[in-house]
Amino acid sequence: MKRSREKAAAELFAALYPRLAGWCRRLVDDDETAHEIASEAFTRLWARWTSVSEPRGFLYVTAANIVRDHWRRLERERRAMRRATVEASVLPPTEQNDPSVRLLVQALPERLRIPTLLHYYADLPIREVAVLTGRKEGTVKADLHAARELLRAHLRRSLDRIQ
């Protein structure tokens, strides 16, 4: 029993780790951090191995939560650095000048951010996103639409400031 459990876990790791780590890499812009996040997601899966019915979804939702925590920690560090540095108080925050989609997705409300990450970054179908988030498919579609509209508006404003 233990041997088959370990074999199943090893096969799952071999099949999903590279893609999960790559997905995390696109979100955090750092190889080492991406691998740490993907590894942590697998560690958490392993701790709940017998109670998780959908390991792939569990991994992506867990990784998305860890990425969110990473982004929050980075934002707290940025704010602290801006407060501690005189020059930073004179210059506008970097986020105001950088219309990157990653920063905009990070700024979405969690209700919109999680489905966006799962659908557009993890390539999960809407049906699976609905199951993982405990929402109806129509709600997920509406949330994705709302997220796209917010991102579009933010990008337009950022581009208008640049021009």
Q: Which pLDDT tens digit goes with each residue over 44-103?
A: 999 998 898 899 999 999 999 999 999 888 887 777 666 655 444 444 444 444 557 777
Q: What gap in Å lies between CA 74 and CA 54, rounded to an integer?
A: 30
| 75 and 48, same domain (yes or no) | yes
| 51 and 127, same domain (yes or no) | no
Give how many domains the chain has, as a whole number.
Answer: 2
Sequence-distant (6+) residues with CB within 8 A of 119 are: 125, 126, 129, 140, 144
Phi, psi of 122 (to 5 degrees): -100, 0
- In Å, what is the CA distance from 30 to each residue of 36, 49, 57, 111? 10, 28, 23, 25
| 54 and 131, same domain (yes or no) | no
Q: Which of 91, 112, 142 is the last residue of a domain?
A: 91
Q: What gap in Å lies between CA 59 and CA 9, rounded to an integer?
A: 12
| 67 and 114, same domain (yes or no) | no
Residue type, 108: L
**Residue ranges in 85-136 assigned as alpha helix (H):** 86-90, 94-97, 101-107, 110-116, 126-133
| 59 and 4, same domain (yes or no) | yes
| 6 and 59, same domain (yes or no) | yes
| 79 and 113, same domain (yes or no) | no
pLDDT in tens, 107-148: 888 889 889 888 888 888 899 889 888 899 999 999 999 999
The helix/strand/coil state of 123 is: coil
Q: Which of 91, 113, 134 is the last residue of a domain?
A: 91
* Domain span holding position 39: 1-91
CATH code at 127? 1.10.10.10
Instruction: State the pLDDT at residue 124.
Output: 84
| 12 and 37, same domain (yes or no) | yes
| 58 and 32, same domain (yes or no) | yes
Q: At what angle do helices 31-47 and 55-84 cross, to 10 degrees?
A: 130
